[in-house]
Structure 1
Amino acid sequence: MKWQGMGESSCSIARSLAVIGDRLTLLMLRNAYLRTRRFDGFQSQFGITRHVFVDRLKMT
């Protein structure tokens, strides 16, 4: 199943993921639940550059 088609799924978990957003948002929520609290911690765990991560945070 494609990520874009999650909202039409009969699975309640898949539909919930469609509401949350894309994969990076889901990973951010997971890492926050696992007690990552600082920007640098999130950035290093995802392995993306600072400006890409900032741009992504602005979208949420």
Structure 2
Amino acid sequence: MAEPINLNKFRKAKARADKQQRAAENRVKFGRTKAEKARDILETDRAKQNLDQSERDE
């Protein structure tokens, strides 16, 4: 005869595994390294500085 299983434990374990899988996919999709973030901040600062320097004085 088969071993009885607790369906609540099975359901919760499956939900946990699904959540971990979704989190792993999101880390790949949205995650950025510290260097990438710093580079983006540097680029926006340079663009802002260039725009400020290009402003016309009337």
Higher relative CO (CA 8 A, sep ≥ 6), structure 1 or 2? 1
Larger of the two Rg values belongs to structure: 2
Name the TM-score class by shorter chain.
under 0.3
**TM-score, normalisation: structure 2:** 0.28
**TM-score, normalisation: structure 1:** 0.27
